[in-house]
């Protein structure tokens, strides 16, 4: 299982620009994510298309590959809730043979406890591939390059045959279907499994050189040749001024050492008594949401970790709710006390002039 994005509706519009400017244009981009899944050799699961938006239209999948399902998010990218629904759809759609291995990347949207528990219940093994390796190890990503090329061709054909009409999210599925049929042939799927060494199993198909870290490709900037300049002559007055400044600094330092705790703020800022500790200098690194290495997501260890995390989040939410409820109760009590005092004040007899 893997996903790829498409930017559609790249339209050129007239814009104001400075005279003489080159390549002036304005792009209007809409992101659509398409998820492909190989179930077994010679078989491809119908894709999931994630659109950016909230409105669901029945016509949006017109002309799409057979069995295609769609979802809508605010960004057009995968989310945990959508992944959860797709896992349920996947389990119902695949053959009943078990166990079943599902390989995917370690993106945070794929790490969902409910989805993992559903896979465990249905004997589906979720395996997260190492980061930045899916282009080598993931069979469903191998055809992406050809898919993008075929989609570009299909978009041009649609544009030319439609009197300049551009692809929108309402016609995207129809255009994608042409690229889909041209890309995912039985031979292409078989070659993808073979190229990654998944089937037939071949651990040696991927060389060590392909998995080696990338080499530095940056070219160091050339420093201009230094121009030899004769040293500037320091006058006697400048030398005396510099010596006086150093003497003043030494006197201030001497006073601070003789009388600790009596230094002025300016001296403290200028000559800190103690260096900064490592606790203040070291910044906390943000926790990576994605899994940093290959891992079996349906393993008991990661399920326990996710369960502990879910319990902590739930406990924190309960504590926040309890504090809100407590503030609300105090607020109601204060209002009741105010009303009570107001009623007591109204019941008191008014004083007359004779009193």
Q: Taking 50 as the threshold, does the pLDDT of residue 214 lie above it? A: yes
pLDDT at 199 over 70: yes
- The predicted pLDDT at position 355 comes to 56
Calculate mean pLDDT across residues 115-125: 93
pLDDT score for 13: 47
> For residue 267, is pLDDT > 50?
no
Q: Minimum mean pLDDT among 36-45, 165-174, 222-231: which range?
A: 222-231
Report residue 282 as tokens: 């070291």
Mean pLDDT estimate for the chain: 78
Claim: this prediction has a pTM higher than 0.75: no
- Which pLDDT score, from 0 to 100, does residue 282 have? 46
Name 5's bridge partners. Answer: 33
Is the predicted pLDDT of residue 124 greater than 60, yes or no? yes
Look at residue 338 and give its three-state secondary structure. Answer: helix
Q: Which two tokens stand for residue 344?
A: 């007591």
**34 has which bridge partners?**
4, 49
Residue 198: band (very low, low, confident or very high) from pLDDT cuts 50, 70, 90: confident
Helices assigned H by DSSP within the chain: 80-93, 113-121, 134-137, 144-161, 172-183, 186-196, 208-211, 236-258, 265-270, 278-281, 300-347
CATH number of the structural domain 2-14+24-204: 3.30.420
pLDDT at 122 over 90: yes
pLDDT above 60 for 139: yes
Percentage of the residues of the chain whose pLDDT score is greater than 70: 72
Q: What is the mean pLDDT of residues 236-241?
A: 85
Contact 289, 117 (CB under 8 A): no
Phi, psi of 266 (to 5 degrees): -65, -40
Residues 6+ apart with CB under 8 A from 38: 1, 44, 45, 139, 140, 189, 192, 193
24-38, 65-79, 232-246: lowest mean pLDDT where?
A: 24-38
pLDDT at 12: 44
| More reliable by pLDDT, 48 or 111 | 48
**Phi, psi angle pair for 140, to nearest 5°:** -75, -10
191 has a pLDDT exceeding 50: yes
């Amino acid at each position: 299982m893997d996903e790829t994005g498409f930017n559609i509706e790249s339209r050129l519009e007239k814009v104001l620009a400075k005279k003489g400017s080159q390549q002036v244009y304005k792009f209007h981009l809409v992101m659509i994510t398409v998820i492909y899944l190989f179930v077994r050799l010679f078989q491809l699961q119908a894709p999931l298309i994630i659109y950016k938006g909230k409105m669901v239209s029945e016509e949006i999948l017109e002309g799409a590959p057979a069995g295609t399902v769609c979802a809508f998010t605010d960004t057009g990218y995968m989310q945990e809730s959508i992944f959860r629904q797709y896992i349920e759809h996947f389990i119902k759609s695949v053959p009943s043979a078990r166990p079943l291995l599902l390989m995917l990347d370690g993106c945070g949207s794929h790490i969902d406890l409910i989805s993992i528990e559903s896979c465990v219940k249905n004997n589906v093994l979720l395996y997260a591939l190492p980061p930045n390796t899916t282009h080598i190890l993931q069979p469903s990503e191998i055809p992406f390059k050809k898919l993008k090329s075929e989609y570009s061709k299909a978009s041009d054909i649609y544009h030319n045959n439609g009197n300049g009409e551009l692809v929108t999210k309402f016609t995207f599925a129809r255009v994608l279907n042409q690229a889909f049929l041209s890309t995912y042939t039985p031979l292409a799927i078989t070659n993808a499994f073979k190229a990654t060494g998944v089937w037939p199993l071949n651990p040696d198909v991927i060389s060590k050189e392909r998995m080696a870290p990338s080499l530095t490709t940056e070219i160091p900037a050339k420093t201009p040749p230094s121009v030899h300049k004769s040293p500037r002559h320091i006058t006697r007055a400048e030398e005396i001024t510099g010596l006086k400044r150093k003497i003043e600094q030494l006197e201030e330092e001497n006073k601070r050492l003789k009388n600790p705790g009596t230094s002025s703020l300016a001296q403290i800022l200028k000559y800190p008594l103690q260096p900064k500790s490592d606790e203040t200098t070291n910044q906390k690194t943000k926790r990576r949401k994605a899994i940093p290495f290959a891992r079996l997501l349906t393993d008991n260890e990661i399920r326990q970790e996710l369960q502990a995390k879910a319990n902590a989040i739930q406990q924190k939410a309960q504590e926040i709710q309890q504090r809100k409820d407590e503030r609300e109760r105090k607020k109601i009590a204060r209002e009741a006390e105010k009303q009570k005092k107001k009623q007591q004040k109204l019941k008191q007899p008014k004083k007359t002039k004779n009193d």
